[in-house]
Amino acid sequence: MPWDKTDLVYAKIDENGGVIAINKVDENCDSSKTQPFFAANGDLFFLSDKSGYWNLRRCGIDTIDTNLRSENIYEVEYDCCGPPWVTGKRNFAMCGTSEVAVSVLKDCDWEIRVFNYAQKQERVLHPKLGVLDDIVCSEIGLFYLAGDWKNYPGIYLCSEEESNFLAPRTLTRPKIPATFTESLISSPQHLTFKSNNNEEAHGIYYAPKNSQFCLPKDELPPLLVNVHGGPTGTAQKAFNPMHQFWTSRGFAVFDLNHRGSSGYGRNFRKKLYGGWGVVDVEDAISATKFLVEQELANATQIAIRGGSAGGYLVLACLAASDCFSAGASYYGIADLELLTKDTHKFESQYLERLIGPYPEAQELYKDRSPIHKLENIAAPVLILQGKLDKIVPPNQADLLYKKLVKGNTRTELILFENEGHGFRAPANQIRALDSELAFYRKNLLAKDGK
């Protein structure tokens, strides 16, 4: 996959338009290279995790060389971009002849920094951002798309005067509804906890928040463990209306960054390889124990929710542990063997890294598939699925429901006619959340059968 290993190829074009002098940059280097960009002087800049983190590297193109090697011009022990799922991202921009603006991620906080690689000096222009992307430098100044935990992403400008950037100002940003005041917005708290083998995992905790009511002093909040997809994805501190939907209704939310998530370097991201369905399950269970020990969650009212690969983790956790009282799987994977046969082209070989080659590792695929462990799932399960899904086809949800409901009568299935992998229509998003809330009220929050 492009976040595992990529080739960066440099070539020249002769006067007739032919391609000559074709060479690879950092050939035979097991690294992910992304966002290549030629500076005005011909130097080639790109982001690579050769050092262990996606940092900015430069390759000076002044001769035809058969062994092109780059240098790390901005080396920090933080990622400067996310996984290259799509093309067109831009997490750095050249500013003049020796300065570059670059994004930096630390504990789910993004910063935009300006680094002078001639003088080896840097300064932070904009700290504490939940999301930061699409950096562009022009004669006017530095433009970028960013958002914090209280606002939707907007376009910012750091104007340039006498070779210095001024403080950022917002040019445009979607408005949050006036009724959605700060008295309802829960602030994110990045937490690190110990999992199996004393290894660390992470997540973002949101406490319940609503000025109109509060829990009794002796009562801990119900907890929703939210799992991102990918599984190479990451939880972010960006303003998330879905999280606020839950926290404003009395739930605590823990947005899990299990081992294998992005944002913590290459080694952390690779910890899931060969261990998908094992180490992430360990981390989800360890997270709940940690939050209960810290008195941040009610041990008897914990649910787990997620979509796609996150939905797979929901099912795997429910089959592996009784610490979860309910689960909601959005277009989740139930049968890994079935996924190898009908998933989309882009990720068709991804499972070989996450689990092993198929069919050689067929027994391992069966052992990791929740569909073969449904007798272990006692907690009620809500399954939500789009009928047009081509990434995790609806036959996964159909098979899961038919088998699970036989021994677990509280299982529910909701199908969405015109939705694919991720629900797009606002009416369907509202329906999904309302249905999930009703499901929790009935199966997680009810006391004495009420």
pLDDT digits (tens, 9 = 90+) for 359-392: 999 999 999 999 999 999 999 999 999 999 988 8
Dist. CA 353–CA 1, nearest whole Å: 9
pLDDT at 52: 96
Taking a C-beta distance cutoff of 8 angstroms, is the pair 313, 370 a contact?
A: no
Dist. CA 372–CA 368, nearest whole Å: 8
* DSSP string for residues in 332-367: ----HHHHHHHS-GGGTTHHHHHT--TTTTHHHHHH
Orientation angle between helical segments 279-293 and 309-320, nearest 10 degrees? 70
> Identity (one letter) of the amino acid at 442?
K
The predicted-structure confidence for 308-328, as pLDDT tens digits, reads as follows 999 999 999 999 999 999 999
Q: Residue 329 contacts by C-beta under 8 Å, 6 or more apart in sequence?
A: 305, 306, 307, 311, 312, 314, 315, 381, 382, 383, 384, 400
Where in 49-168 does DSSP place strands (E)?
55-59, 71-74, 92-95, 99-106, 109-116, 121-129, 131-137, 141-147, 154-161, 164-165
State the CB neighbour count (10 A cutoff) for residue 272: 24
Domain ranges of the chain: 8-172, 188-443
pLDDT at 215: 84
The predicted-structure confidence for 40-54, as pLDDT tens digits, reads as follows 888 999 999 999 999
- C-beta pairs of 439-445 under 8 Å, 24+ apart in sequence: 439/326, 439/328, 439/380, 439/382, 439/412, 440/222, 440/251, 440/303, 440/326, 443/325, 443/326, 443/379, 443/380, 443/410, 444/222, 444/301, 444/303, 444/325, 444/326, 445/222, 445/301
pLDDT (mean) for 56-71? 78
pLDDT at 344: 63
* DSSP string for residues in 193-226: EE-GGG-EEEEEEE----TT----TT-PPPEEEE
pLDDT at 449: 44
Tell me the pairing of strands 141-147 and 131-137.
Answer: antiparallel
Superfamily assignment of 188-443 in CATH? Alpha/Beta hydrolase fold, catalytic domain (3.40.50.1820)
Burial grade of 413 (CB within 10 A; 0-12, 13-18, 19 or more): middle
- Least confident window among 58-62, 209-213, 349-353: 58-62
Model confidence at 88: pLDDT above 50: yes
Average pLDDT, the chain: 92
Torsion of CA 142, 147, 152, 158, to 10 degrees: -20
Torsion of CA 248, 253, 257, 262, to 10 degrees: -10
Residue 343 — pLDDT band, cuts 50, 70, 90?
low
Q: Residue 218 contacts by C-beta under 8 Å, 6 or more apart in sequence?
A: none
- Least confident window among 63-77, 94-108, 378-392: 63-77
Predicted TM-score (pTM) of the model is 0.93
Nearest to 92, CA basis, from 75, 115, 70, 72? 115
Does the domain at 8-172 match CATH 2.130.10.120? Answer given as yes
pLDDT at 149: 93
